[in-house]
Amino acid sequence: MPDSNRNKAMVGRIVKALSGYYYVLPDGADKQSVPVTCRARGIFKKRGESPLVGDLVEYGVTENGEGTVDAILPRTSELIRPPVANIDLAVLVFSVTEPELNLQLLDKFLLHIEHAGIPAILCLSKQDLAEGGPDADEARHIIDEVRRIYEPIGYEVFLTSSRQGEGTSALYERLQDHLAVFAGQSGVGKSSLLNALVPGLSIETNEISSRLGRGKHTTRHVELIPVGQGYVADTPGFSQLDFVELGIEELGSCFREMSELSGACKFRGCTHIHEPGCAVLQALEEGNIAASRHEHYALFMAELKEKKRRY
């Protein structure tokens, strides 16, 4: 039976979720407006669904000024971790040093983002560390390496320094009209970068623990932060990623350069590991695919096979 109030429902976007409450910004409202505090209707629990930050929803306002989330509008994308919907740009933030950039972890992040079907850009933070100090040579080498490997396969690379304010204006422009997520290892400066992009934001940041060599988690919940005409989802920092709902046969399609070549392989369903007539292995031999990318692909393949065996 249709809800008699459904035609009176208003539309808005969930900009924050915390302790069972959803904060909904009415559609068309200024991004600095105060969102409506809502609870979700019990129907979602029965269906095994849950509203997510980023969702466009239908909601109604109760007499006390609070509201109820009544329906979730169709999503264009959904991430499980961090739990956020309708992201249309992923900004993978990795520091050039402190903590040291790990290309295997970068490829793992890219694998998950490609699997989710979300366009990605790379942001190398702490660029100022490449300009002086004991790690300068190593930091410059890392920047050159990232550009050499990832720009030819279509990933934009942005260099930023939150401390010096360098590169932030170019990144700010790139974020306009997008609902973006910042993802990356803890301690790479995601919160500092957001503070540099949005003056006065003052997200809590923690310095790297020199003993552990990694940052403390400074972000406690998912929240959309207005960045001009765009949003950035400030999400918990994490350094471990599990292969969730990713099949072995899907792995190759998440590596752009291998996906493009796979049609030229001799055998259908080629794993690009050992088969004769493999276009990917030929490109690797000719130097047209980065050795690190194929090495990580093979590692992820082995990890997936091992996981499949265990279950």
Is 185 annotated as a binding-site member? Answer: yes
Instruction: For residue 201, give both structure tokens.
Output: 């934001």
The reply to whether omega before 152 is within 30° of 0 (cis) is: no
> Rounded to whole angstroms, how far apart are CA atoms 283 and 286?
5
Q: Is 265 labelled a binding residue? A: yes
Taking the C-alpha atoms of residue 70 and residue 5, their distance in angstroms, rounded to an integer, is 10
In three-state secondary structure terms, 72 is strand
Question: Any binding-site annotation on 127?
Answer: yes
Determine whether the annotation assigns residue 50 to a binding site. no
Q: Is 126 annotated as contributing to ligand binding?
A: yes
Residue 296 burial by Cβ neighbours in a 10 Å radius (0-12, 13-18, 19+): buried
Is residue 38 a known part of a binding site? no
Alpha helices in the chain (DSSP H): 42-47, 103-115, 136-150, 168-175, 190-197, 256-261, 279-285, 291-310
Residue ranges of the alpha helices (H) in 151-243? 168-175, 190-197
**Residues linked to residue 180 through DSSP beta bridges, in sequence order:** 89, 232
192 is in an annotated binding site: yes
Q: Please give the Cα distance from 304 to 302 (Å, whole number).
A: 5
Q: Is 184 annotated as a binding residue?
A: yes
162 annotated as a binding-site residue: no
Binding residues for GTP: 125-128, 184-192
Binding residues for Zn(2+): 265, 270, 272, 278
Binding residues: 125-128, 184-192, 265, 270, 272, 278
